[in-house]
Amino acid sequence: MAISLIVVLANYLLIGRYGKYVVADQDQLARLVEGELLVGIVLGGGIEDNKPMPLLRDRLDAAAALLDSGRIRKVIVSGDNRVSRYDEPSVMKNYLIQERSIDPGRIQPDYAGRSTYETCERARKVFDLKQVLLISEGTHLPRAIYLCRSFGLEAYGYGSDGQSSAGLQVGQRWREVLARTKATINIYLIGEQTVPGDKLPL
0.85 surpassed by pTM: yes
The number of distinct structural domains making up the chain is 1
Measured N-to-C along each axis, helices 169-188 and 2-16 cross at an angle, to the nearest 10 degrees, of 100
The reply to whether 152 falls in a domain is: yes
Q: What is the pLDDT of residues 42-98, one digit of tens each?
A: 999 999 999 999 999 999 999 999 999 999 999 999 999 988 789 999 999 999 999
What sign does the dihedral 45-51-54-60 (CA atoms) show?
A: positive
The reply to whether 14 falls in a domain is: no
What's the CA gap between 127 and 149, in Å, rounded? 15
CA atoms within 13 A on the CB side of 42: 36
The reply to whether 177 falls in a domain is: yes
The reply to whether 32 falls in a domain is: yes
The reply to whether 3 falls in a domain is: no
The reply to whether 194 falls in a domain is: no
What's the CA gap between 119 and 126, in Å, rounded? 10
Q: Give me the CATH number covering residue 106.
A: 3.40.50.620
Range of the structural domain that residue 44 is part of: 21-188
CB burial of residue 160 (10 Å; 0-12, 13-18, 19+): buried
What's the CA gap between 137 and 20, in Å, rounded? 14
| Banded model confidence at residue 33, pLDDT cuts 50, 70, 90 | confident
Q: What is the pLDDT of residues 129-142, one digit of tens each?
A: 999 999 999 999 99
What's the CA gap between 66 and 158, in Å, rounded? 10
Q: Tell me which DSSP letter residue 125 carries.
A: H
